[in-house]
Amino acid sequence: MKRVSTSLLVTLTCWLLLGCAGDGSRARSGPVFDITAYGAADDAKVSSSDAFRKAIADCQKAGGGVVRVPAGHYLTGPIDMVDNMTLQVDGGAVVLFETDRAKYPDITSRWEGLTENGPHPLLFANALHNIAITGAGTFDGQGSEWWATMDMAEHGNARPNRPIRRRPPLVQIKDCTGVRIEGPSFINAPCWTVHLL
């Protein structure tokens, strides 16, 4: 299992993302939206995608707050953060991402310095302000299932006029300000673990 050091993440985040220093680096506190109140199941085989979506939608309607993931194992598709949101994964919480490629439709992003299309990140923040990912829990990309079906074109064996079937990054933070990552572990990324743009 590959783990990314939290202190390294905090250092990289502050160094690479302008505007994250000072008071603006903390996501706004506010109401708490516990995913279990929205029907999330503590079961690694049962999707809680709807519960995550509903909790985040209510957080957005409230103008921000904390989307809380309590201890347990929760399976989900992609998570899209919103302005003024803290995604808090408590100690003992494991967020497992589904491995069905169809759940991660292509978006326009950066791949090795170029603007290209690729799969939606598992955890995505795009053009947001005042966001945080906190807590002592774990985000697990279940990378082994992605690695087993890795496109050989990624190994330099691309055929002419054939696009590479890319794997999604575990976390991508793109064009955001006021970003804080503090506490969680990020493991088994399908592709890059934490992609800061």
Q: Give domain status of residue 39, yes or no.
A: yes
Whether the predicted pLDDT of 18 surpasses 50: no
Residues spanned by the domain of 173: 6-150+164-196
Residue 166 has pLDDT above 50, yes or no: yes
In a domain, 159, yes or no: no
pLDDT band at 152 (very low <50, low <70, confident <90, very high): low
Q: Above pLDDT 90, what percent of the chain? A: 64
Confidence tier at 25 by pLDDT (50, 70, 90):
very low
CATH number (domain holding residue 140)? 2.160.20.10
**Which of 94, 197, 96, 93 lies closest to 146, judged by CA?**
96
Measure the N-to-C terminal CA separation of the chain; round to a whole number of Å: 25
Asked if the structure places residue 157 within a domain, the reply is: no
Question: Is residue 125, in this structure, part of any structural domain at all?
Answer: yes
DSSP string spanning 114-125? EEEEEEPPSEEE
- Comparing 141 with 159, the larger pLDDT belongs to 141
- 81 within 8 A of 131, measured Cβ to Cβ: yes
Question: How confident is the model at residue 188, as a pLDDT?
Answer: 97
Does residue 109 sit within a domain?
yes
The total number of structural domains in the chain stands at: 1
Beta bridge partners of residue 180, listed in sequence order: 132
Element (H, E) at 111: strand 106-111
Q: What local confidence, expressed as pLDDT, does residue 112 receive? A: 75
